[in-house]
Chain A
Amino acid sequence: MSAAKSSVIPGFGPTLGFTLFYLGLVVLIPLAALLLRAAGLGWGQFVDAAFSARVLAAYRLSFGGALLAAAANVGAGLLVAWVLVRYEFPGRKLVDALVDLPFALPTAVAGIALTAIYAPNGPLGRLLLQAGIKVAFTPLGVVVAMVFIGFPFVVRTVQPVLQDLEVEHEEAAVSLGANRLQVFGRVILPAILPALLTGFALAFARALGEYGSVIFIAGNMPGLSEIAPLLIVTKLEQYDYAGATAIAAVMLVAAFTLLLLINTLQKWRHARLHGG
C-alpha cells in the first residue's frame, strides 16, 4: 500500500486488481485444482505415487536433461544473438526468422523430424553410430529434443539487450586499456546477464514440461529413458488421476522453486549493481 502512495503513476489499484484476477484465473485456479486432486491422496499413497524408484529416475532425466539443454542453449543462444546483432551479412533477416521455427512447429512434428535424423538409419544417426554414439532412443536423444525446443528463448531474450548496448561503452573500456576478454567479462556480460538468466529459466521450464517431441525420440524404456510427463500420461491411462497429479505437483513445486531461485538471483544482482 505504501508503494501505491509513493508511486506517482495513477491507477495502481485497478491494475493490480486486474493482475491478480487474471493470474488467478489463468494460472492459479488450474494449479489449485491440481494440488487439490493430489491432496486427495493419503501421505503414504502420495509418496508411493510420486517418489517410487521409477518416478525418481524419470525426475532425474527430466530435470537433468532440461538443465543440460538450457545450459547448452545459453552458450549457443548467446553466440547466435551476438552474430545477429553485431554483424551485417546477406541473409541475416532469414537467419533471424529461422530462430523462431522451433516455436512454430507442432511438437510432434519436431519429434518425428528429430527421430528421423538421429535414428540409426537417419543421415546424422548413421554417422554418429559409427563414432559409437547413439542419440535416438537414448537419454541423449531426450536432451537433443529439449535443446531444439528451447533454443529460441535465449536468443530472443538476449538479442534486444545486446542491441541496446552502446558500443561506446566497449570503446571506452578499450581506450582505458582493457583487453577483449576484459571487455566481454566486465562490460558486456554484466549487462546481458539478466537476459541470459531469463532465457535460461524459460528454456529450462519449456524443456521440463515438454512431452510431444521428446516422446518420439526418447525410446521410453522404464527407468532408463522415461521422462516424468510420460509417467503422468501413463497414470492417466490407468484412470489414476490422483497419482498423475501427485507427480505433476512434485514437478510443479520443484520447477517453481528453481524459477524463484533464478529470479531472486537476478534481483540480488540488480540490487548490487544499481544499489536497489
Chain B
Amino acid sequence: MTKVASLRWMVLLSGLSMAPPALADSTLLNVSYDPTRELYRDIDHAFVAAWKAKTGEVMTINQSHGGTGAQARAVIAGLEADVVTLALAYDIDAIARTGLLDRHWQDRLPYQSAPYTSTIVFLVRKGNPKRIRDWDDVARPGVEVITPNPKTSGGARWNYLAAWGYALDKYGRDEAKARRFVAAVYNNVPLLDAGARAAATTFVQRGLGDVLLAWEDEAMLAVEEMGGGQFEIVVPSMSILAEPPVAVVDKVVDKHGTRAAAEAYLRYLYSPEGQEIGARHHYRPRDPTVAARHAAEFPLVKLFTIETLGGWQKAQATHFNDGGVFDQITAGANP
C-alpha cells in the first residue's frame, strides 16, 4: 500500500517538476504468441536502448511466448502482462471482457492496433511438382494439404478464413458453394497438427504433403533456414490480411505504474525503426516508406480483412465453435 502510494507520489513529483523521472529500474512483461520470439527479441533490445536515450531509465522487458489462446487465458487467470501482443483480436477481446482493459482497445492505436501484418501463403516443394498456383489447386483432388487444427491453432484459423474468403469472392458470396470449396480443401488434409510450428515440422521434416498453408513470415523463415532451395513460396491471387494486434493491459499498467513505458513500447512498433525490425522478420510493414524499401520481398496480393467476413467474434462463432462450419465439413469427411 505504502509502496504504491510512494510510487504515485514519485510519478507525480517527476511530472510536476518536469525533471527527468527517477532512475528506478522498470520492468515490462510482454505476453505474446509463438512465432514472435525472434521479432520481439530484436524489438526489445532496440526499444530499451531508445528508451534509455530518451528518458535515462533502464527498462527490462520480459517476454512470455505460447499459443495465442493459452496466453490469453493465462492473462485472464492473473498473469500480469503489461502489454499483450497476440495473434488474434479475438483473444484480446476475451481479455477485455474480464475488464482488464478497455473494450475499445482496438481504436487506441493506428491500424486497429495492428502495427504490422502478414498474410497466408503456400509453401510448396522445390519445382512445385503439383503445379500449385492458387487456392483452386489447393482444393483439387489428389493434392495433399498440411494445415494445423483451427480448433487449437490461431494460425490455422487464418488459413481456413483465407480459403473461405477466396471462395466467397469466387462464387459471388454464395455461402453454400464456399462451404463446398473449403470442404474440398479440408478433404485434402491428412492430419491436423495442434499448432502452426508443428504443421511446419510435419511438412518440412516429415516430408508429408504437397503444400503447407502458412503465415508469410513463417514460410519465408522456413525457406531462409532450409536454404538449398528445397522449398518455394507461392503467393495466391488473393489472401487474407492477418493483423496481429497489440494492446496495453490497463489494470496491470495502472497497478505497476508502467503505463507511460508500456504505451511508448507499443508506439515504438509503429516507428520507422520498429517497422524496419518487423520487416526484417518478414512482417509486412504499415509505414509507407519502410514498405517501399521492402517492396521486392512482399509480392502484391489482393488482400481482404477479417472485417469483410464479419469480424472475429462472428467468424469464431460461425466456423470454429463446436458444431460450427468446420466441425460440419470435417464430420462429413471422416464419418
Contacts and interface: CB of A to CB of B under 8 A. Distances in A.
Nearest to A120: B208
Interface in B112-151: 149, 151
Contacts of B198: 216
A174 to B, nearest CB: 53
Nearest to B194: A215
A42 to B, nearest CB: 16
A222 B191 contact: no
B73 interface: yes
A119 B194 contact: no
A124 B244 CA distance: 40
Given A112-B201, A215-B194, A237-B152, A122 B331 contact: no
Taking residues whose C-beta sits less than 8 angstroms from the other chain, chain B's interface range is 20 to 34
Nearest to A137: B191
Contacts of B320: 238
Interface residues of A, number: 30
A112 B197 CA distance: 12
B335 interface: yes
Contact of B149 (A136, A220, A224): A220
B152 A224 contact: no
Contacts of B321: 238, 240
Contact of A220 (B69, B194, B327): B194
Given A119-B208, A240-B322, A223 B335 contact: yes
Given A220-B149, A238-B322, A230 B335 contact: no
Interface string A214-228: 011001111111000
B56 interface: no
A144 B165 CA distance: 39
A120 B205 CA distance: 11
A74 to B, nearest CB: 30
B206 A122 contact: yes
A37 interface: no
Interface in B180-203: 190-194, 198, 201-202
B108 to A, nearest CB: 23
Contacts of B94: 239
Contact of B322 (A219, A233, A235, A236): A235
Main secondary structure of the interface of A (DSSP, over half): loop
A52 B331 CA distance: 12
Contacts of A269: none
Contacts of A54: 327, 331
B231 to A, nearest CB: 15
A116 interface: yes
Nearest to A141: B191
A240 B323 CA distance: 13
A131 B197 CA distance: 30
Contacts of A225: 191
B155 to A, nearest CB: 12
A115 to B, nearest CB: 7
A122 B202 CA distance: 11
A230 B152 contact: yes
A234 B151 contact: yes
A120 B151 CA distance: 25
Interface string B143-177: 00000010110000000000000000000000000
Contacts of B73: 236, 239
A140 to B, nearest CB: 13
B152 A222 contact: no
B330 interface: yes
A230 B149 CA distance: 11
Interface in B184-234: 190-194, 198, 201-202, 205-208
A121 interface: yes
A243 interface: yes
A121 B152 contact: no
B316 to A, nearest CB: 7
19 contacts: A52-B322, A116-B205, A119-B206, A119-B208, A137-B190, A137-B191, A219-B190, A220-B192, A220-B193, A222-B327, A224-B334, A233-B194, A234-B149, A234-B151, A234-B152, A238-B151, A238-B316, A239-B94, A240-B321
Given A119-B202, A120-B208, 15 more contacts: A52-B322, A116-B205, A116-B206, A119-B207, A121-B206, A137-B191, A215-B194, A220-B192, A220-B194, A221-B330, A222-B331, A223-B331, A230-B194, A234-B151, A238-B151
